Chains A and B, each alone.
Chain A
């Protein structure tokens, strides 16, 4: 097996550094019209009609009345309309578009449009469930024999993705096709959304990916809404159309991380052994389900984090509220439930008056353990080694005692976590059915196609390396361009940490296949279908079986100090260890490690987004603070090699893993620094002041 001991220069380094990369907004098309959304001002109301001013020549109002086939955005639940019709369900919901040649005029005309509403009672709290899931493991009737029960509740807040490039889309007609260039994660999601709303043929639509400036899940679903809207408009307007969001619009009206509320109970026997745990995770899905049921699934499957209990009762609800729909964001539900469980097990140790680390180690998952969904942890687990390494790097054992003793307003916290790679259960084999096309010309130049988007994480470089190294040919003999749906078959969305473990594995397999049949001087082409591990059996309705083909593991240690005068937190140190199987390019992985942890820490203590009466209060980057380099220390990260047999060259997923453990490690450190239990994030100075005002 090739070891990939060197890191290479990312293929997009130069064009990005020199400002040469062409992002959607950079694409010049002088005859293009602009589209501006006409948005609901009410959180919940019957929509009796929409007042539209008399429009100048060449200006159009596009609404539900113009829908060609189906007024539905093709996002998993298919409940989100392209344009609100007869009812609005959140402030900012699009009721229509103003389309025309001048953007300023479009904005002005849109500001004159008004919904005619009959207001309904809005719901902002998590009380109306629209998706419920539950499953058990072992025998939960044993809970009633418990001698002690310990229960706690935890909450987490919204998080905005703050990708560098806001949402942007350009649509035009060319060769009898609707062509889309956009800031995106999933070209085929956009493709399907257009085909569905227009009822057209698949060959009528072409999606091409330009340079994309960050995504983090925020461009997984929202671009499908924009695409369905612009497609409806282009049928009528018959001109190229652009829709570019400004930062404020993007923060105010596009999807965010689900806020959550988790309740956990542990049941103990007379000897303080844990009989089992009961967990309920609630997530705020906003006005439409979209992908919330899948986010909920992941939150529930990860709910016992890296611990094994014999008897487990897990349930959860996604709640409908009259707010902007929540959707994908790095981690996809699991950061919320893992945050809760990591804090809970530490608090439980305090309640039982036993050593925190001892209790955690007692229930730590081992190879061969049964997962919460009654699947198996089949592969070797090196979590203990990861924890030992992280403790050594951070001097954890010494510091955790030192800071417990004095009132230094300093603390250190350690989190352990996992992330299931790829789509849940048999989703890869049954739903996505990735197919990878690879071809070779007479001169031996190899071209391969995926639908994976490189939005900065480096997969253009990594996937290319996988193919060239498998074929044992120089990298410049391999061509791998950004996705174009006219050329590539679907290898699935760029999501769920599946790019390297699934598509990378598929690319390696296709390349190995091509190598086998390689004939010099001939044109050759292979279409390689994805075949999942045969052991994966998953029952989605019952939430039983093997939830993921493989798991990546990690440990974060965070050290903080707190200013007793201002309650401000300073991150003093961050140390991480990860098992991502085998890293294909270590430097790219370090980029994910630093970025993921920084983003997680932002979620944990800085990034506060609050909805008041259905409207976000923080609408700009002046009010929604993400960490700067000044807020973060140098981060130290080490990897432990543990190759995964189904991944390319032993690689597993890494993109989301690096986000999952930051918040609990931070919160545990903060708890020690202030001598109070933390149950909620973001732990802003305002929250810390309140904690300090109250006795523990």
Chain B
């Protein structure tokens, strides 16, 4: 018999997680689809469920002393979109995720935990070097989102751990973002790109590029990014073709029911070119 746990404190939740293997249910917008069995039937859960939506202490959005944005695990997209603390580029991304009714339920942390190659929030999180806080009865640890997601639905989480917080460092860049789906709303990403840059004195101070839906996880190459730091804007613009070539081996899209390998790769490169042309 499956048991349902609806704790109201983090301590309680972590204790339950320590004692048993549970599905963690926040907004449920991915889980209910994955476990769907048919209309009029209960979903097909094969182990206990821990509902975390009633843990009030995880419901916050704040800025800490270092200027990091701290988002509690219970925050849903609709709240983040309306918060004055959340950077605009995150809001741009969130507003293109699913539909208003899904955004009223779904959490940012859920999108991280689901670890889909098409997860849109993973792009800004990656670009901002965001970290997740994993809590268990043994304490907390922090992991970069980039490292936390290891592959398709594979994450660096122990069975007794709960993602309790997302830490987004301050990042003052010029941003570029394009999500390409099959239509203008309520669409799953076929390919996406987010870029960020900062120029000081005609030189590249910071350059960051992430691709979505192009591999098993978000693609980011720190080596290429760092190579162009300190270079002049003119040099960067002169070497756009080289940069696109350097990313070639990183872009390993697949052909599936939504698009083709050729399209995804070509458009990813087009988007990269479009972004780099805007660096000035």
Contact = CB atoms under 8 A, between A and B. Distances in A.
A631 B182 CA distance: 10
A25 B183 contact: no
Interface stretch (B15-23, B33-41, B71-79): B33-41
B187 interface: yes
A532 B122 CA distance: 65
Interface in B1-53: 37-42
B188 interface: yes
Contacts of B249: none
Given A617-B257, A622-B188, A628-B186, 8 more contacts: A107-B38, A246-B39, A565-B267, A567-B267, A568-B180, A606-B182, A689-B262, A689-B263
Contacts, number: 65
Contact of B183 (A103, A104, A619, A625): A625
A271 B234 CA distance: 59
Given A566-B178, A618-B257, A628-B186, A103 B38 contact: yes
A565 B192 CA distance: 12
Given A617-B257, A686-B260, A566 B267 contact: yes
Interface string A90-116: 000000000000011001000000000
Interface of A: 25, 103-104, 107, 244, 246, 565-568, 606, 610, 617-619, 622-623, 625, 627-628, 630-631, 684-686, 689
A335 B237 CA distance: 49
Contacts of A627: 183
B258 A623 contact: yes
A617 B263 CA distance: 18
Contact of A689 (B41, B258, B266): B266
Q: Which of A104, A246, A566, A606 has the most CB of B within 10 A?
A: A566
20 contacts: A25-B39, A104-B42, A107-B37, A244-B40, A565-B178, A565-B270, A565-B271, A565-B273, A566-B178, A566-B267, A566-B270, A567-B267, A568-B180, A618-B257, A628-B186, A630-B185, A631-B184, A685-B263, A686-B259, A686-B262
Nearest to A166: B39
Contacts of B42: 104
The dominant DSSP class at the A interface is loop
B147 interface: no
Q: Please list the 3 inter-chain residue pairs (A to B) with the smallest Cβ-Cβ separation, ordered nearest first.
A: A630-B184, A630-B185, A625-B182
B37 A104 contact: yes
Contact of B38 (A104, A567, A685, A686): A104
B41 A103 contact: yes
Contact of A246 (B38, B267, B271): B38
B88 interface: no
A482 to B, nearest CB: 23
A279 to B, nearest CB: 32
Contacts of B225: none
Interface string B172-197: 00000010101111111000000000
Nearest to B41: A104
Q: Which of B42, B182, B187 has the most CB of A within 10 A?
A: B182
Q: Which of A103, A568, A618 has the most CB of B within 10 A?
A: A568
B68 to A, nearest CB: 34
The dominant DSSP class at the B interface is loop
Interface string B251-275: 0000001111011001100110110
Category for how many chain B residues contact A: 20 to 34
Contacts of B39: 25, 244, 246
Contacts of B184: 628, 630-631
A657 to B, nearest CB: 25
Contact of A630 (B38, B183, B258, B271): B183
A230 B80 CA distance: 50
A689 B261 CA distance: 12
B188 A566 contact: no
Contacts of A565: 178, 267, 270-271, 273-274
A545 B260 CA distance: 47
Nearest to A25: B39
B277 to A, nearest CB: 10
Contacts of B186: 628
Contacts of A566: 178, 180, 267, 270-271
Nearest to A571: B184
Contacts of B266: 689
Nearest to B259: A686
A627 B181 CA distance: 12
Contacts of A625: 182-183, 187
Nearest to A617: B257
Given A107-B37, A566-B180, A689-B266, A628 B271 contact: no
Contacts of A244: 39-40
Interface string B140-151: 000000000000
A99 to B, nearest CB: 15
A628 B267 contact: no
Nearest to B269: A565
Nearest to A36: B38
Q: Which of B39, B41, B259 has the most CB of A within 10 A?
A: B39
Nearest to B182: A625
Interface in B102-128: none
Q: Which of B39, B186, B257, B267 has the most CB of A within 10 A?
A: B257
Contact of A628 (B180, B183, B262, B270): B183
Interface string B201-245: 000000000000000000000000000000000000000000000
Contacts of B259: 686
Q: Which of B38, B262, B266, B274 has the most CB of A within 10 A?
A: B38
A69 B52 CA distance: 58
A223 B180 CA distance: 38
Contacts of A618: 257
A684 B182 CA distance: 8
